[in-house]
Amino acid sequence: MSEKLSRLQRALASWQLDGVLLTRRDNIAWLTDGASFYVVERAEVGVASLLITQDKVLLLAPENEMPRILAEESLPFACETLSYPWYQSLNTLLPEGKFGSDTPQNGMSDIQQAMVALRQGLNSNEQQRFKALGREAAQIVEGVAHQLKAGVTEWQVEAEIVAACLARGIRPMCTLVAADERISAFKHPVPTQKKLQQHMLITLGAERHGLHVSLTRLVHIGQPGPALRQHLNTLCQIHADIICATQPGQSWSTLFQAIKDAYQRHGHGDAWRDHHQGGPAGYGCRDVILTPDTRGDIHSDIAVAWNPTLSGVKSEDTFLLTAEGCEALTRSGEWPMITVQRGERTLYFPDWLALPASS
């Protein structure tokens, strides 16, 4: 019996539901340990659903989709199957009763936020998959970054990252690239044909088996000036304060206040307003974007991806939070780092990568 299936079936009673219909990719991947029911690459919903009740699981899929799912998607629990013509509405197949759904369905309650909460707590297998994904995502971004030359376009950088991801079975869910003044101009710089002259920001949001990691790296042709170096150093001080404040047992709202305090402490009191700061990750790029109104407490054995930002620089990595603290996942060991000391604790954050000006 799948532990996650048991967890979900136990939740049905507290939700006062006879069952739930899951169609979203994040929930399907979580429940099945990584199964993919989607066709469109970045769609939030798949082409098949799972109907879970107290005593069974029913896989529902159109007749043209069911053969591939049965042949190629391994499920960690037994289930019945029901296929139907592609032109028939799924609603006509659902039993009577009190059901919830993670997508809008007539007569069903919305359970998506409850599912996000239920997914908290990564088991040992998920943690190992997370570590492998984080390491490989960092290797991809940093490998492309080390080969950058002046004159390359943002599109070309994006293409290299996407190709390297797909070759490893990683889905590049978000690829942002900014050259020169676009770094300061836009918080989410969708790649363009702009050519690199002096410095570049690269961000990757990567997914495999349903798990997501995020990271950002900064590259400079030639040595960055003292002002740029100091700006990133200050940001890493802020990031270090955020990591140290991310502790199991405290509330998310308390942590948000700590983030605001960190910006204030390092001389950038209102800069937190300029961009979201990230949040808990897992089966979404961010399961929740942290705000002052985020409810609930922080649990151990979760992933968090913070992305503190100042004008022209961003510090972003994905960490695994356990009872022992935060472990960086998106690291390759092949990037210059900034060292930050917090008491007896030493933390490391990605520095500028300075490439030879002649390259």
HSE-CB at 61 with a 13 A cutoff on CA atoms is 22
**Are both 150 and 297 inside the same structural domain?**
yes
Last residue of a domain, one of 118, 139, 161: 118
Confidence (pLDDT) at 209? 95
| Whole-number Cα distances in Å, 100 to 51, 112, 258 | 10, 9, 36
Long-range contact set of residues 43-48: C-beta below 8 Å, sequence gap at least 24: 45/103, 48/23
**Are both 92 and 130 inside the same structural domain?**
no
3-state secondary structure of 85: coil
Percent of the chain with pLDDT over 90: 94
**Are both 248 and 342 inside the same structural domain?**
yes
- Output the domain CATH number for residue 285: 3.90.230.10
pLDDT beyond 70 at 1: no
**Are both 68 and 88 inside the same structural domain?**
yes
Structural domains counted in the chain: 2
Long-range contact set of residues 252-261: C-beta below 8 Å, sequence gap at least 24: 252/288, 252/290, 252/294, 252/295, 252/296, 252/297, 252/298, 253/292, 253/293, 253/294, 253/295, 255/290, 255/298, 256/290, 256/291, 256/292, 256/294, 257/292, 259/290, 259/306, 259/308
pLDDT in tens, 243-297: 999 999 999 999 999 999 999 999 999 999 999 999 999 999 999 999 999 999 9
**Are both 255 and 130 inside the same structural domain?**
yes
Mean pLDDT of the 312-330 span? 96
The residue range of the domain holding 35 is 3-118
Confidence (pLDDT) at 359? 47
Confidence (pLDDT) at 42? 83
**Are both 20 and 109 inside the same structural domain?**
yes
**Are both 63 and 148 inside the same structural domain?**
no
Last residue of a domain, one of 118, 149, 181: 118
Last residue of a domain, one of 118, 143, 158: 118
